[in-house]
Amino acid sequence: MTISTKDIRNVVLLGHSGSGKTIFAETMLFESGAINRRGSIENNNTISDYTLIEQDRKNSIFSTLMHATWRNNKINIIDTPGSDDFIGEVISSLKVADTALIILNASSGVEVGTEIIWEYVDTFNTPSIFVVNQMDHEKADYEQTLEQAINRFGNKVVPIQYPYNSGSSFDSIIDTLRMVMYVFPEGGGKPEKQSIPAEEMPRALEMHNVLVEAAAENEDGLMEKYFEEGSLDEADLAKGLTIALANQQIFPVFCASALNNIGSGRIMGFINDIAPSPADRPNALLSDGSELSCDSDEKTSIFIYKTLSEPQVGQVSYFKVYSGCLRSGDELTNATNQDTERFHHIYVAEGKQRKEVNALNAGDIGVAVKLKSAQSNHTLSSKGISRAIDPIKFPESRIRTAVVPPSKSDIEKLMAALHQIEREDPTLKVEQSKELKQTLLHGQGQLHLDILKYRIEKVNRIHMEFEKPKIPYRETITRMSESSYRHKKQSGGAGQFAEVHMRIEPYYEDMPDPENLSVRKNEMEDLPWGGKLAFYWCIVGGSIDSKYINAIKKGIMQQMENGPLTGSYCQNVRVCIFDGKMHAVDSNDMAFMLAASAAFKSCFKDAGPQILEPIYDMEILCSSQVMGDIMSDLQTRRATIQGMEAEGHYQKILAKVPLSELYRYSATIRSISQGRAKFKRSFSNFQASPYDLQEQLIHAHSRMLEEA
């Protein structure tokens, strides 16, 4: 049976690592009857964490699609990793979800991982429900967690439930929407409904009235009824809260113990009754700025939000049907490459298990295997339909490492495996750097790269080692210099002759023309590696024929690609060719190219050469307890602190740090903060490196040349 759009709920589970998302998903499946026994992380038998690497590490690394049936509705559940090293899995899941279930740890409160995730929840404008989980923990503190959530996420955070007791004796929840107390038997499961104790009634009524007002505010008819009768019945409340949740005007708060199966059934019911269907969400934005409604009667369009490669299966594609109805045998056209893909089989997922279905309506999430060329972020539509869903925008990398070159027999296999994982994980970038002569991996953190190494070694059977990546320094000059070079070679027959006189000086925007030189021609070159080369032809009287301009410029560019000091790229230099000599027979392009290169090298070394190092903007989010240790560590890294400010109950540190000081910073900050600090970085600019560092780099380069 194909589920109609209005009967679908797409829910993504989010939260800091250790908040209990995977067990909560397991309990949701159990409560719905999708599974008849709950697995555990310790026994490696949960539906969500089914890969060997997740079972080895005892935490989620990949997002996992599951589904449950609740009454007449289908609830698609996507469990996500808690570590922000795998933020790509979170963002892609948020793209296709219609409701976020944000799991908070009752003993830890709102943790930094939740803060980071909230940025993306806010970006996607996703309706959100908070669950204060692990209320059975001996240090559980619902009130403090609720207060932190309100302080961080605003007054739209409104409790629907609160625990009557907590800690190891937790078994009762007061529900202020239905004005009842749920008392759970030992082992959890179906609760007994009891009256709210008299001493709790004032608080429960106060919270109930807040919910009534929130519901009434969203429709004139409900507001009028509320004013007339002073209250709303359960149907009216559900109607108003559905609108409020869909429009992010309320973020309800529930409490639970997923481990003991307490409270999850009520949350499932709330998702079923109140959470928006895909049809209730705003239209999807297309790349051209237009919109697409989630309508099963439209032409079919699907969006692939995730791909992965499975042994013995090949590529597995996870997608959401954004419009129309996808049926087995349909052929769709890829908007990115115009390839046609036939969907021979369509599946719904329950972790690693897949069940074939005949069709999926708009709003539903499914799986296909062995598509020819479709990748993550691709939109496929009915033939003749040209539309592309606005793609997912993934964050920049925060860490990089170099790969030790393997044996010649393994290098092709390794690169193929790396590029396969890169296609699956858009937050990973593989770069073969011509500049540094290294293969670089750019990722979200040390754990991200360690997991990549694990996969390469366990799945692809290729040994891989990391090494410290080189730094992409730049070379420039600080003053004017003039030099000349004569290239003369005679070895029987035609010889080589060229003489070039040049002036070089630091380039800056809107600088005046060179003094005492007559400019005949000038060209501005935007260098591929950044910065500029200003090339001025100032030859008077024909001492060098203009036909050699390109050869001279090529010789200069070759030297700029292999800087005189460290072999790094040169930038922001103005070169003026003002004199020289040529020979009617022996002059040629090669001679002038060599002469120009040698003259530039000599001139550069006499022009106050300077080595520039890349500087990165750092933004670090941490608790006040570890801020001092993080600041001390930054100071050892030659950081320049730009500022500090509060963000929620966390502190944000802004700093500029040289890239050379950031190697393995991800592991360091994780150790300092016990995993409770997060950071992101972005390239800022190049700045002059300290004199002692410049001397070390120059000497190291000289030794390398001598040994070569």
3-class state of residue 493 by DSSP: coil
Q: Is 619 exposed, middle or buried (0-12, 13-18, 19+ CB in 10 A)?
A: middle
Q: Count how many residues are written for the chain.
A: 708
Least confidently predicted of 95-104, 227-236, 305-314, 322-331: 227-236
Q: In the predicted model, is pLDDT for residue 494 greater than 90?
A: no
The model carries a pTM of 0.89
Mean pLDDT over 629-633 rounds to 95
Helices (H) and strands (E) in the chain, counts: 16, 38
Asked if 114 and 102 count as a contact pair (C-beta separation under 8 A), the reply is yes
Average pLDDT over residues 438-464: 91
Kindly report, residue by residue over 552-568, the tens digit of the pLDDT. 999 999 999 999 999 99
CA distances from 507 to 36, 183, 478 (A): 72, 76, 9
- What's residue 517's pLDDT? 93
* Residue 443: its H or E element: strand 438-443
Q: What is the rounded radius of gyration, in angstroms, for the C-alpha atoms of the chain?
A: 32
- Torsional sign, CA 566, 568, 571, 577: positive
pLDDT for 417-446, tens place per residue? 999 999 999 999 999 999 999 999 999 999
Contact 274, 245 (CB under 8 A): yes
Residue 460's pLDDT band (boundaries 50, 70, 90)?
confident
Q: Tell me the mean pLDDT in the region 14-19.
A: 92
Burial status of residue 706 (CB atoms within 10 A of its CB: 0-12, 13-18, 19 or more)? exposed
Q: Does the pLDDT at position 379 exceed 90?
A: yes
β-strand partners of 379? 303
Mean pLDDT of 285-290: 94
Whether residue 585 is predicted with pLDDT greater than 90 in this model: the reply is: no
Token pair 């692809």 is found at 460
Give the percent of the chain with pLDDT over 70: 97
Mean pLDDT for the stretch of residues 236-262 = 92
Least confident of 246-250, 439-443, 702-706: 702-706
**Per-residue model confidence (pLDDT) at position 569:** 96
Q: Which has the minimum average pLDDT: 1-10, 91-100, 595-604, 673-682?
A: 673-682
Instruction: Count CA within 13 A, CB hemisphere, residue 323.
Output: 24
Cα separation, 438 vs 456, whole angstroms: 18
Q: Is the model's pLDDT at 104 over the cut of 90?
A: yes
Residues 6+ apart with CB under 8 A from 482: 501, 502, 503, 504, 603
Q: Distance (Å, rounded) from C-alpha 180 to C-alpha 24?
A: 23
Q: Which domains does the chain have, with CATH numbers?
A: 7-280 (3.40.50.300), 284-382 (2.40.30.10), 399-467 (3.30.70.870), 478-607 (3.30.230.10), 611-693 (3.30.70.240)
Count CB neighbours of 238 within 10 A. Answer: 15
The answer, yes or no, to whether residue 1 has pLDDT greater than 70, is no
CA dihedral 8, 14, 19, 25 (to 10 degrees): 20
Would you list the DSSP string of 172-228?
A: EEEETTTTEEEEPPTT-SSPEEEPPPGGGHHHHHHHHHHHHHHHHTT-HHHHHHHHH
- Mean pLDDT throughout 208-228? 75
CB 84 within 8 A of CB 112: no
Burial category of 589 from C-beta neighbours within 10 Å (exposed 0-12, middle 13-18, buried 19 and up): middle
Decide if pLDDT at 578 tops 70: yes
List, for residues 123-146, the tens digit of each pLDDT value. 999 999 999 999 999 999 999 999
Most distant CA atoms of the chain, gap in Å: 112
Q: Which residues lie below 8 Å from residue 415, measured CB to CB, with a gap of 6+?
A: 430, 439
Please check whether residue 20 is in contact with residue 257, taking contact to mean a CB–CB distance below 8 angstroms. Answer: no
User: Which DSSP letter does residue 597 get?
Assistant: H
What's residue 303's pLDDT?
A: 98
Alpha carbon distance 670, 22 (integer Å)? 22
- Two structure tokens written together for 369: 């295997």
Determine the pLDDT at residue 228.
63
Average pLDDT of the segment spanning 647-670? 91
Reported confidence tier of residue 225, pLDDT bands at 50, 70, 90: low
What confidence category does residue 407 fall into, taking pLDDT thresholds of 50, 70 and 90? confident
Q: DSSP states of 122-151 as a string? A: HHHT--EEEEEE-TTSTT--HHHHHHHHHH
Mean pLDDT of 546-556: 96
List CB contacts of 147: < 8 A, sequence separation 6 or more. Answer: none
pLDDT of 46-98, one tens digit each?
999 998 889 988 999 999 999 999 998 999 999 999 988 999 999 999 999 99
159 SS3 class: strand
